Amino acid sequence: MKKYLIFFAISLSLFLGHSITTKHAIYGDGNGYYVTAWSLLYDHTFKSDTILEHLKNFKGKDYTFSRIFWDENKNPYSVGTSLFWIPSMAIASVFSSNNLDLLHELGPGITGIIFMLAGLFFIEKYLLNFYTPRTTFFTILTLFIGSNLFYYSTLEPALSHQPAFFFIAFLLYWTRDLKDKSSNYLILGILFGLVQITRIADTFLLIPIFFALKLDIKKIMLIGLGFVLGMAPQITAQYYYYGTVAKNFYVTEASNQWSFKLIHLFEYLFSYQKGMFVWSPVYLLGIYGLVRLKKYLILATFVFIWCLGAFWSEHSSMTAGFGQRLAIASTPYLAIGITYTYERFTPTKQVIYTSLFALWNIFLLYGFYILKWKNLS
C-alpha cells in the first residue's frame, strides 16, 4: 500500500503544478464530460449555457480561447465519466463559492488519479494469484513509470480512459472468484453497463471476462437486466439530445469518420507520432506473454479493438494526447503478459528493463512538452 501513497503523491504534485501553470485542469475531450457534469450538478440538465459560455471564452495562461469544439446542441460524449466526476465537484463547491474556478476542474483530475491507482491496485491483487510478489511489484512499477499510464495518471488524468481502465482492472480481479449469488450477477451487469456509458469501444474488453464465467440462462438474464440499468443514464441523455433512445452519436453520426485503410492499423501500433508499441514498448512484452500463455480470446479482442481504433480516420495520425491512449483500458490484460515475461527474468534483468522503460518514458515526456512533439501532424 505504501507504494500507492507514493504514486498518489507524485501524481497529485505533478497534476497540481501543471494545472496551476496552465490555469486549467481539463483538456481536449475532457471538456465534453465536464460540461455534462457541471450542467447536471448545478443546472440539473445535460446542457447549461453558463458552463458553455465560460469554456467558449476561457481565459488561459496566455490568451483567451474556446474549449468547445463540438456541436453545443449535441454533446457527443458519453455520460458515464461525467457522473463519476460529480462527487468531487460537489466537494469542491464546499470550499469555493465560484463554481467556475480551477478548484472545480481539479476535482475530476483527482478522481482520475484515484481511478488509475485503484486500477493498478486491483491488477496487482489479481496477478498475485499467479505470480511472485517481487515480479508483480516490478510489473506495477513499470506500468506506472514506464508506460503511457504515467502521463494519464499525472498530467492529464481527467478523461474517460481512467474510469474505463479501473473498471476492466476491477472486473478482472472480482470475477476470478465471483460468488455464485444472484445479486452479484445483477451488479456485474450494472458494471458492464457503466463501462458501456464510459467508453463504448472499451465494452468489447468485457468479452474475455464474460466468457470466463460459468453462466446459465438465469445468470445471463440478470447480467442483461443489470446492463440495461447501468446504461439508463446514457439512454436518458440520448433522449434529451435526439428525442429518441435509439440514437447515439458514435453509432449514427460518426460514420463519416470511418476509413478502412490498413495503414491506419500500422500507425495505431507503430507510428513514431503516437503508436502504441513505440510510445509504450513495455506493451510488447505483454503481447509476447499473452501469446506464450495462449490467451487467444484476449489477443483476438485486442486485434478487433486495434482495428476499430485504427479504422476511425480521426485517429489515423495519432496526434491526440500522449501515446496511444485508446489502449489504456487494455492494460489490465497486458499486465498479465508482462508479468509472465518478467517472471522469467532474473531480478537484475527486471530492474534493468524497468529502468529502460522509465528512461524512455522520461525522454518522450521531455519531447512531448519541451520539444513540442504534440504539434507534429
Rounded Cα gap, residues 43 and 177, in angstroms = 42
Is residue 320's pLDDT more than 60? no
Written as one string, the DSSP assignment of 267-311 is HHHH-TTT-HHHH-THHHHHHHHHHHTT-HHHHHHHHHHHHHHHT
Task: Dig out the grid coordinates for 255 from the structure.
Answer: 460514420
Calculated CA dihedral for residues 271, 277, 278, 280, nearest 10 degrees: 140
Domains identified in the chain, total number = 1
What is the domain extent for residue 104? 2-375
For position 301, what pLDDT does the model report? 97
Write out pLDDT tens, residues 257-286.
555 566 678 888 888 878 899 999 999 999
More confident residue, 49 or 242: 49
Kindly report, residue by residue over 199-248, the tens digit of the pLDDT. Answer: 999 999 999 999 999 999 999 999 999 999 999 999 999 888 888 877 77
Q: What phi and psi values does residue 250 have, to the nearest 5 degrees?
A: -70, -25
> How many C-beta atoms lie closer than 10 Å to residue 294's C-beta?
9
Share of the chain above pLDDT 70, in %: 92
pTM reported for the whole predicted model: 0.94
Q: What is the mean pLDDT of residues 154-172?
A: 97
pLDDT digit string, tens, across residues 97-113 = 999 999 999 999 999 99
67 and 55 in contact (C-beta within 8 Å)? yes
Report yes or no: 77 and 68 within 8 Å, Cβ to Cβ.
Answer: no
For residue 5, count CB atoms less than 10 angstroms from its CB and return exposed for 0-12, middle for 13-18, buried for 19 or more.
exposed
Running DSSP on this structure, what letter comes out for residue 374? G
Closest among 325, 326, 340 to 288, alpha carbons compared: 340
